[in-house]
Amino acid sequence: MKVRREYIIAIVAVGLIFAAVGAAYQFFYKARLAQYTENTQALQNLEKALTDLETQFESKIPEDLIKARKGMVQPLKEQVMQRAAFFNTADLLQIDPIPEGKLLRFYYSDQFNKMLNELRQDAYSRTPYRPYPEWSTFGAPRPDELEGRTVTEQEVKDWLSLIKFGAAIVRMLMDAKAVAVYDVQMWPERQDYDSLLKMRTVGLSFVMRYADLVAWLDKLRLENRYFDVNGIGVQNRYLRWAIEPPVEVQMLLTQADFNAAGATPVTRAAAPGGSPLPEPGGVIGAPGLRLPFAPLSDAQRLAQGGFERRREGPAMQPSRWRTVRNWLRNHWLWPF
């Protein structure tokens, strides 16, 4: 029996319709159905959260809750700003604005010599004189190292800030009655505590009387600014002195500035052609750093600071009678 062409066409058409419906279900409606199920679950979760909130905050006005929340947040903000005043370096990094029209390299040379000369005059005006590393530039380049090089205004500001900060640290040690300052090394500036604080660490090597060292550390503890002694080493080379001897101190001292903006870390401009700044954990106060004090011996340098070992005369020879009495006493022939 022959199947009519119309039947075949009808069967094929029905098959195509079922195939189209299956494809639509598989590739379109099924994905929509899954999305609908997910949205239904999210709606149920939101309705449950809303019910919980209505139960917890029954008969509460939203505006009152927002106002109370702000009242809690604002004092916290004020407290943060009050505590931020503790994290500051005061004017230790403030430099005068660079005048317009000045050639940066020559302006830097003038300020470089001016700031270091002021530190030198301050040291020589003290009695007794407090030796310090006059050769140090605290990580800033010397003017003669900038020959033939173009410098930017930001570089000049960074270098002058380094010099001012280092000079302030030297003056701090002089005020604390340091007998001699061997070295002051500036570490690269870094940010800590989620970029809220700009940390500045200085490696120090100096000589100071032990009592003055304790008094200075106690003074730092009571300051209304942030100071942190990250590490300290004390060495006493004069244990047999009849007076309190000075001690050699190596210290890592950190100060911090509050950085509310949370800016990206600032990289200090390195001196061109110079040695890199010391990394955290590096050695400070190496023996070679004492070269500026080579003309003076340790005893002479300590004598400048008011320390002089007490000199005792030659011991007197015992008399013959004392020698005989000691011999008799040691040999159990003497009753006393």
Chain segment 69-95, per-residue pLDDT in tens: 666 666 666 666 666 667 777 677 777
Of the listed ranges 38-52, 225-239, 279-293, the least confidently predicted one is 279-293
Of the listed ranges 95-99, 151-155, 319-323, the least confidently predicted one is 319-323
From the list 286, 219, 226, 283, the residue with the least C-alpha distance to 253 is 226
235-270 b/e with 16+ CB inside 10 Å = b? eeebeeeeeebbbbbbbbbbbbbbbeeeeeeeebbb
335 confidence band (pLDDT: 50, 70, 90):
low
- The answer to whether the CB of 206 falls within 8 A of the CB of 185 is no
Residue with more model confidence, 87 or 217: 217
What's the pLDDT tens digit per position in 270-294? 444 444 444 433 333 333 333 333 4
- Amino acid 117: pLDDT: 93
Residue 121, pLDDT above cutoff 80: yes
- Amino acid 292: pLDDT: 37
Mean pLDDT (whole number) for 254-261: 78
Q: Which amino acid is at 87?
A: F
Which residue shows structure tokens 């955290």? 280
In angstroms, rounded to a whole number, what is the distance separating the alpha carbons of residues 45 and 274? Answer: 64
- Amino acid 89: pLDDT: 73
In angstroms, rounded to a whole number, what is the distance separating the alpha carbons of residues 223 and 126? Answer: 24
Beta strands in the chain (DSSP E): 178-186, 190-192, 197-209, 228-235, 246-258
Residue 269, pLDDT above cutoff 50: no
In angstroms, rounded to a whole number, what is the distance separating the alpha carbons of residues 258 and 81? Answer: 9
251 confidence band (pLDDT: 50, 70, 90):
very high
Find the angle CA(143)-CA(146)-CA(149) to the nearest 5 degrees.
155
- Amino acid 331: pLDDT: 60
Q: pTM of the full predicted structure?
A: 0.57
